[in-house]
Structure 1
Amino acid sequence: MKIQIDHKDFELMIEHEQVKKRLRLIGIQLNVAYENRIPVFVGVLNGCFMFMADLMKEVHIASEVCFVKMASYRGDQREEEVKTLIGLPNSLKGREVIIVEDIIDTGNTLKQVIELVEREEPVSIAVCTLLLKPEALEYDFEELAYVGFEIENQFVVGYGLDYKGIGRNLKDIYRAV
């Protein structure tokens, strides 16, 4: 199946059913790893909203949720500088934090988010991402603990990911062709 967004063609890459199955497995891992603890899930907006909403339905332990908003893309072009648009609303001092990302490519945004969280002096930081582009990574992250899918270094849309603000609502994930 192919779609077009703003004259750019995309083809189906990951069906929603595959995403749901993977989320169930990540949910089980999180439930076991954080049993009898109360972690704080920090979602990175806007892209994480669908992933995080569905992920939290699979998390059955006590937990808290908050969000940060970072900007690293303009259209389909990565920007060098990552901007913080919305910061952390709560103190994370002494807390166990799970950063939830839609996609990690270069790692610039994640690096900024980790630095933002570290300033709050949490006990631990783990990263949970739906998509990871290993070929594009410019940093090593020891915090990277939960990965939905490793993908090639291609531009993707759907399931929270956008192209020029469009496509976040698609339930499947598509790659540019």
Structure 2
Amino acid sequence: MKIAIIGNGNVGSGLANILSKTQHEVGTFGRADDVAKAVTEADIVIFATPYGAAAEIADQADFTGKIVIDVSNPVTEDFSALQLGTTTSAAEAIAALVPGAFVVKAFNTIFAQHYAGDLKLDGQPLQTFVAADDETARDTVKTLAAEAGFEPVDAGPLSTARQLEPLGFLNIQFGYVHGKGTEIAPRWQFAA
């Protein structure tokens, strides 16, 4: 598959690093690059930008038939709160901006610093929670995440992003506000 990552900051560059270790073709593009061409040639497009840039990106290309992965957490500029929550999510808002695309929420609870390592904490793979309304798109992203070294967790429909984004925000709070650092990540233990 061809994967276009829109956003070349810490998260976009980090995702490019880990995904380039899979058999897939990965390219990173800034918002000023030819996003339309990148999207046209891609099977999967990752929005690795702040949530506020989503509308601008959506206007630059036709995303019909593409899997679009939203990794954002819609935090306020001062990181004190979420812009959206409980009744909707950034992922659902992005889905409305790119009708005809298969929007998936994933990778939003992982600090970018993990992408330089082996994607493990205490010897266990980092979990990424994957939510999408389209089951095929959800399965595709779960497979991609596993190939990259994550433990993918099926989080059900896209509306679950209403809980995943606050989880990402909580991770940010623990990491930065409460001084736990970026070598942390949420993990669910499931009974065998």
Please state which band the TM-score falls in when normalised by the shorter chain: 0.3 to 0.5
Structure with bigger helix share is 2
Greater strand share, structure number: 1
TM-score computed with the length of structure 1 as normaliser: 0.41
Higher relative contact order by CA 8 Å / sep ≥ 6: 1 or 2? 1
